[in-house]
Amino acid sequence: MTWRHLYLEALGRLSDRHAARWFVEEASGGSWPAVLDEPVPTRGEKAFCSMVARREAGEPVQYVLGHWAFRRLDLMVDRRVLIPRPETEVVVEVALGELARLSVPPLVADLGTGSGAIALSIVTECAGAEVWATDLSEDALAVASANLAGLGARAAGRARLVHGSWWHALPEGLKGALDLAVSNPPYVAESELASLPSEISRWEPLQALIAGPSGLEALRAITAEALGWLAPSSALVAEIAPHQDRAAVELAYSAGFAEAFVKPDLTGRPRVLVARRRT
């Protein structure tokens, strides 16, 4: 039996050529399409069949593979953390744009880091940046720690993972010193849970998705204390749901930010809150 046989079998069962190809590459360790006519070892067949069965049961492809691409990174992901998405890649792009205004290596906090996607992208793409990444979930921090270890000593030395809720996880010495705070907080309202795709509601960690009755609870908590931690001319960048754009801007102004606006994601929908403090 060759990998081509298994690919065609998976294609028939899943009706998803991308997943079928990814599972072949993952199980074989080979490159596409060169691997297709190679014989399948017993261990590879078992791994492949397990992945196909998990996908048939509804498990997201990213969790089945155990890793997923995010900007320049290949991140370990499992059910302990949210799946990194293109919308959050835009959050990183906006955050890097805010950091480009600075003339010194910046000090950054990533609140609710999850897999570490945002924090590690900033460490990787912003020379000299020092990032403190927080999360209330010890399980999520374990995943972020594994991803941090994969960066190599030089980059990993500029990131710290700390356990706790939002700002409360950070050392007091950082108050008034942060050049940027960035977050992808929970922003789904409790009433919206039933409308989420089953791949999300059944598999991804609800504590990282559901903010509370309004969906704005996490963002409210972050904006309310932000100015006590941010340095002059600094900014807060946060992912939001598209329908929350006006409310998010109002929260930022209510917290004392001098400027607040929302930038779009790749589909043109309002997605990233930018709130800047006075100089």
pLDDT per residue as tens digits for the range 158-173: 999 999 999 999 999 9
Residue 22 predicted with pLDDT over 90: yes
pLDDT for 193: 95
What is the rounded average pLDDT of the residues 111-132? Answer: 97
Tokens of 22: 């990814």
pLDDT tens digit sequence for 183-238:
999 999 999 999 999 999 999 999 999 999 999 999 999 999 999 999 999 999 99
pLDDT for 101: 86
pLDDT tens digit sequence for 40-68:
999 999 999 999 999 999 999 999 999 99
pLDDT for 279: 77
CA distances from 233 to 89, 250, 264 (A): 24, 20, 23
Tokens of 176: 């008034």
* Cα 211 to Cα 190: distance, rounded to the nearest angstrom: 7
pLDDT for 155: 84
- The amino acid present at 249, given as its one-letter code, is V
What is the rounded average pLDDT of the residues 81-103? Answer: 95
Tokens of 138: 């010890």
* Cα 14 to Cα 23: distance, rounded to the nearest angstrom: 11
* Cα 81 to Cα 120: distance, rounded to the nearest angstrom: 15
pLDDT for 118: 98
- Per-state percent for the chain, helix, strand, coil, to nearest 5: 45, 20, 30
Q: What are phi and psi of 232, to 5 degrees?
A: -55, 145
Helix axes of 217-226 and 245-254: crossing angle, nearest 10 degrees: 30
Residue 6: pLDDT band by 50, 70, 90 thresholds? very high
pLDDT for 278: 85
* Cα 175 to Cα 199: distance, rounded to the nearest angstrom: 39
pLDDT for 158: 95
- The average confidence (pLDDT) of the chain is 96
What is the rounded average pLDDT of the residues 32-37? Answer: 95
Decide which of 202 and 102 is more confident: 202
